[in-house]
Amino acid sequence: MKVEAGGRSIEVGNPGKVLFPESGITKADLVEYYRRIAEVMVPYVRSRPVTMHRFPDGVGAPGFYQQDAPGHFPEWIRTVTVSTEEGDATRVVCEDAATLVYLAEQACITPHVWLSTVEHLDRPDRLVFDLDPPEGSGPAPVRSAAEATGALLDDLGLRAGVMTTGSSGFHVVVPLDGVLGFDEVRDFASRCARVLAARHPETLTVEHRIDRRAGRVFLDYLRNAYAQTTVAPYAVRGLSGAPVAAPIDWSELGTTEPQSYTVANIFRRLGQKQDPWSAEGIPGQALDDARPGLARLEE
Distance CA 219, CA 190 (A): 9
The full set of domain ranges for the chain reads 2-114, 121-299
Q: Which residues of the chain have pLDDT under 50?
A: none
What is the torsion angle, in degrees rounded to the nearest 10, for the CA atoms of residue 38, residue 78, residue 52 and residue 46? -40
Chain CA centroid to CA 139, Å? 18
pLDDT score of 279: 58
SS3 231: strand
Is the model's pTM score more than 0.85? yes
Fold of 121-299: DNA primase, PRIM domain (3.90.920)
Evaluate whether the domain defined by 2-114 bears CATH number 3.10.20.30: no
What is residue 73's DSSP assignment? S
pLDDT at 258: 97
Degrees (nearest 5) of the Cα angle 213, 216, 218? Answer: 75
- What is the per-residue burial (b if ≥16 Cβ within 10 Å, else e) of 112-124? bbbbbbbeebebb
190-237: pLDDT as tens digits: 999 999 999 999 999 999 888 888 899 999 999 999 999 999 999 999
Residues 123-160: pLDDT tens digits?
999 999 999 888 888 899 999 999 999 999 999 999 99
DSSP structure string for 232-273: PTTPBPSSTT-BB-EEE-GGGGGG--TT--BTTTHHHHHHHS
Positions of E strands within the chain: 2-5, 8-11, 18-20, 25-26, 49-54, 64-66, 79-84, 87-93, 108-114, 126-132, 161-164, 170-175, 204-205, 217-220, 229-231, 246-248
Q: Do domains 2-114 and 121-299 have the same CATH topology?
A: yes
